[in-house]
Amino acid sequence: MLLLLLLLLAPASPDALWNRGTQLYDRNQFRESEATFLKFVAIEPKAAAGWAFLGLCEFENRAYPNSLTHLQRALRIGLPEAEPLSKVTRYHAALVLTLLGHFESAVQLFGQLAVLDAGDRETVIATGLAGLRLPLLPSALPAGKEEFAFDVGHAMRETSARRAASGKTEFESLLTRYPDAPELHYLFGESLLNADPDQALVQWKREIEISPKHVHARLQIAFEYLKRGDSEAAAIYAREAASIDPESFAAHNALGRSLVNSGEVEQGVSELERARDLAPNSPETRIALASAYAKIGRPNDAKREREEFVRLRNQR
């Protein structure tokens, strides 16, 4: 009896926890599976697959913020891209990002899935929802809206998978049918940026006409003008973006860089410091701030920001 009691009280091995967790998951017993994988990752914190399954269980249990944290941890540790679990993890992370309103990050993950050739109907619809900035799961979409979301997602997928000509054709078809639909001109502009930046600007400006408070269209325009050396034009759109969304670090970054390049260095530094405070892990802001500090004779601050830029870039 004593031996049996000791065996029952002994901590389960990682293999035993893994087997039990996956069996429970396969039987849709997600709460029990979640509890098991919590024990597993406590023993094996570097096991990406354990964090992935934990995040998948939390997704099914609708604990979405925790799910995102653990799915992203699995992706940071590293999952072999050829394995199905890698695609499933990216897909569910993208779904949660969409639900939580982090649409740009969701679109990036859906783009990775397109490159990995994950193109089932539900994934394409979910891609469209992220692009259209609709915080919904595909299952929550009314039946009459599915085809539109699918068509948008498919056009985005073609662009992400480097089939630019096909993506362009699909976006043009969508805009013929839905010329005033929000987000379509913005998405089309993104797809055109590398091949035809002038036309991308046209599309983003049209998006602002349709969606007057569209922050990201303004940011794309501002960064494109910065790339062209037209800081005054960039500042106009960056200032508007920062006014609409004062918590957007990208807006303060764009405005700060525009002002520094236009000679308003002190104001530019203030904006870049605001961007840094909002997103301290952005290496792009750090290097821009280092350059600005150097211009106003603050070498120690410039050195600190350069060092932080190198650290964050390497970390990324």
pLDDT of 190 > 70? The answer is yes
Q: Per the domain annotation, does 4 fall within a domain?
A: no
Q: Is the pLDDT of residue 201 over 50?
A: yes
- The three state secondary structure string of 126-189 is HHHHHHCCCCCCHHHCCHHHHHHHHHHHHHHHHHHCCCHHHHHHHHHHHHHHCCCCCCHHHHHH
Last residue of a domain, one of 159, 193, 209: 209
Give the domain-ending residue among 187, 209, 231.
209
The overall longest dimension of the chain from CA atoms, in Å, is: 82
Residues 204 and 220 in one domain: no
* pLDDT score for 290: 97
Q: Is residue 85 part of a domain?
A: no
**For the residues 15-38, what does the mean pLDDT come to?**
97
Evaluate whether residue 222 is within a structural domain.
yes
pLDDT at 1: 43
* The predicted structure's pLDDT at residue 144: 86
In a domain, 244, yes or no: yes
When pLDDT is cut at 50, 70 and 90, the band that residue 235 belongs to is very high
Q: pLDDT at residue 8 above 80? A: no
Give the count of alpha carbons within 13 A of 22, CB side only. Answer: 9
Residue range 271-291: mean pLDDT, rounded: 97
**What is the pLDDT at residue 11?**
61
Q: How far apart are CA 68 and CA 93, in angstroms?
A: 6
Look at 150 and 164; give whichever has higher pLDDT.
150
What pLDDT score was predicted for residue 9? Answer: 40
Residue 111 included in any domain: yes
| Residue 230 and residue 205 share a domain | no
Q: Does residue 239 carry a pLDDT above 70?
A: yes
113 and 191 within one domain: yes
Both 63 and 115 in one domain: the answer is no
Query: Are residues 158 and 74 located together in one domain of the fold?
Result: no
Provide the domain limits for residue 184. 99-136+144-209
In terms of phi and psi (left: phi > 0; alpha: psi -120 to 50; beta: otherwise), the region of 241 is alpha
Residue predicted with more confidence, 205 or 117: 205
88 inside domain: no
- Of the three residues 178, 209, 240, the one that is the final residue of a domain is 209
Tell me how far apart the alpha carbons of residues 108 and 244 are, in angstroms, rounded to a whole number: 24
Whether the predicted pLDDT of 289 surpasses 60: yes
**pLDDT band, residue 5 (cuts 50/70/90):** very low
How high is the pLDDT of residue 81? Answer: 83
Q: Are residues 226 and 200 in the same domain?
A: no
| pLDDT tens digits, one per residue of 123-137 | 999 999 999 999 999
CA distance linking residue 16 with residue 23, whole number of Å: 11
**Is 117 within a domain?**
yes
69 & 43 share domain: yes
Give me the percent of the chain exceeding a pLDDT of 70.
97
234 lies in the same domain as 289: yes
Looking at the structure, do residues 227 and 245 belong to the same domain, yes or no? Answer: yes
Determine the straight-line distance between the first and last CA of the chain, rounded to whole angstroms. 54
Q: pTM to 2 decimals? A: 0.89
pLDDT band at 3 (very low <50, low <70, confident <90, very high): very low
103 shares a domain with 203: yes
Q: How many structural domains are present in the chain?
A: 3
Q: For residue 12, what pLDDT is reported?
A: 79
Domain CATH for 42: 1.25.40.10
Whether residues 161 and 70 share a domain: the answer is no
Average pLDDT over residues 216-239: 98
Query: Is 62 within the bounds of a domain?
Result: yes
Same domain, 33 and 74: yes
- Greater confidence, 185 or 162? 185
Give the tokens for residue 80.
Answer: 């072999």
